[in-house]
Structure 1
Amino acid sequence: MFPKISRSTLPCMKESPGVVDLLGVLAYAELSAYARMTEDAATLAPSLADRAALSELAVAEYAHFSLLRDHLAGLGADPDAAMTPFVAALDAWHAQTRPADWLQALVKTYVGDGIANDFYREVARHLDPSVAKLVDEVLVDEVRSQFAVERVRAEVEADPAAGARLALWARRLVGEALSQAQQVAAARPELALSLVEASGGQADISRLFATLTEEHNKRMAALGI
C-alpha cells in the first residue's frame, strides 16, 4: 500500500502539491493512448468503419495531450521532465495488458482506462479548481464509452461465451490498473499527499480504491459482462 507521507518529506513548493506530477502523468497517459489506439485501429479493427472510428478517438487523445503539454509549459514546467517519471509505469501497464483481439482492445479502452481516469479525477478534485476543470476536460470520455459499449454489448449478445472470456480479461485489467495507480501515488508523494490531506487520513485511501472498484463494476454492467 502507500508509504507514510508527511510534509517534512516533501520539497517546498509554490504551486499546489502534485499539480505538475498530475498533469505530467496525464500527458503521458494521453500520448500513450493515442499511440495505442492508432496501433489497434490499424491491426485489430475488423472493418474500415471501426478503423476510422477508433482513429478519430485517437486524434482526440492527441489533442488532449497537446492541451496538457501546453498547460505544463504555461506553468513554467518542462513537459518532457514532467512526463518522464511515469514512462516506466505506464509502459509496463500497456505491455502487461496488450489486447489479443478487437474486443479485448475495446474493453481495455473502456474498463482499463476508465478506472485509471477515475483515480486521476479524484486526485484533481483535491487540487486547485482550475486544475480539476482541465482534468475533467481532457478525461471526457462519452464518445469513447459509447463506441466501446455498443460494440462489446452487441458481440456479447450474439455470443454469450465471449462475455465470460471478456469478464476474465476485465478482472485482469482492473487488478493491473489499481496496482499501477498505487505505484504512481507511492512513487510521487505529492500526488498521494493531496489525497491523504484532503481525506483526513491514510485509511481513506483504501476507501478511494473501493470507490474505484464500484465504478468498475458499473462499467462491467454497461458492457453486459
Structure 2
Amino acid sequence: MSEDAPTRADGDRDLFDPNYRAAVVDLLGALAYSELRAFAQLAKDSELAPTLGHTSALAILAAHELRNFKLLTDRLRALEVDSEEAMQPFVEAVDAFHARTTSSNWLEGLVKAYVGEGIAQDFYREIANYVDPDTKSLVLAVLEDQGQADFAVAAVRQAIEEDGRVAGRLALWGRRLVGEAITQAQRVGVERDALGSLLVGAPGSGGADLAELGRMFVRLTDAHTKRMERLGLSA
C-alpha cells in the first residue's frame, strides 16, 4: 500500500469499510472532474475577457482549479484508485450542466463561475459533513475561495453601473443557472448508491434523514440568493 494510504486513525468513518471507501472515492472523483471542467471553462472564458487584466485574473483562477484537481487526484492515488475511473461516472452529469449553460458573453461566464459553480461547491461542502476528518479537510481546502467571488462581484457590478440594462439579463441567467446546478447536484448525489449513502445513511452509519435533505436544498437556494444579491442581481 502507498506510503500516503489512509490508516484507521483517519477518523470515525473507516476507510477500510468497502462501502464507505467507495463513497469517498465517488466524492473525490465527482469533485475532481468538476475542478477539471472548471479549469477548462475559466481558460475558455478568459478568451472573452475585455482587457488583458481580466484575462490574467481568469488565468490565475484557472491555475487554482488545476492545482485543486491535482490535490484530489493525488489523494485518489494514495487510495490506490485510478483517477480517470473515479471521475468517469460523473462525466455525463457535469458535462450536461455545462452543455445546458453555455455562456454567450464574458459577463454570463462570470456569473456562471460564481453562481453556478457556487451551488455545486455548496453541495460538496454539505456532503463533507458526513466524511472522515482528513477527507473533509481536503474537500474544504479545495473549495476554499481563491478570489473568484471578489473578482466576479467587482466585474459584474461595474458592468451594471455602466449599463443598467445588464442587470435584468444577468438576473434571468442566474435564475436559469440555479435550476440547472441543483439538477446537477441531485444527479450526482442520487445516481451513485455509494455517494448517496453518505447523505441518506446506510445500515450502521450516519447520514441525513429526508427532512435534513430538504433543509440542505433550502440552504443551497438561500446561498444562491445571497450570491445574486452580492452581484447586485435579483434572485
TM-score (norm 1): 0.91
Q: Equivalent pairs: percent with the same residue?
A: 48
Distance 1:17 1:28 in 2: 16
Letter in 2 for 1:205: L
Aligned residue in 2 for 1:210:
218
Aligned residue in 2 for 1:27:
32
Alpha-carbon deviation of 1:204? Answer: 2.0
**Pick from 57, 67, 76: which aligns with 2:61?**
57
Q: Mean alpha-carbon deviation: is it higher for 14-23 or for 177-186? A: 14-23
Q: What do the CA deviations read for 1:82-115 (whole angstroms, capped 9, x no partner)?
A: 0000011111111110100010000000000001
Structure 1 position 222 matched with structure 2 position 227: no
**Pick from 41, 53, 75: which aligns with 1:36?**
41
Structure 1 position 110 matched with structure 2 position 114: yes
Letter in 1 for 2:29: G
Whether contact under 8 Å (1:110, 1:145) holds in the other structure is yes
Segments of structure 1 that go 5 or more residues without pairing to the other structure are 1-11
Aligned residue in 1 for 2:75:
71
Aligned residue in 1 for 2:147:
143
Structure 1 position 179 matched with structure 2 position 187: no
Distance 1:181 1:165 in 2: 25
Alignment of 1:126-165 (within 5 A): 126-165=130-169
Structure 1 position 48 matched with structure 2 position 52: yes
Distance 2:55 2:34 in 1: 21
Whether contact under 8 Å (1:34, 1:59) holds in the other structure is yes
Distance 2:123 2:70 in 1: 21
- Aligned structure 1 segments of 4 or more residues deviating by more than 3 angstroms: 14-17
Distance 1:92 1:17 in 2: 24
Alpha-carbon deviation of 1:14? Answer: 6.0
TM-score (norm 2): 0.87
Structure 1 position 13 matched with structure 2 position 18: yes
Distance 1:126 1:32 in 2: 25
Aligned residue in 2 for 1:8:
none
Distance 1:98 1:215 in 2: 22
> SS in structure 2 opposite 1:156?
helix
The alignment's C-alpha RMSD in Å is 1.3
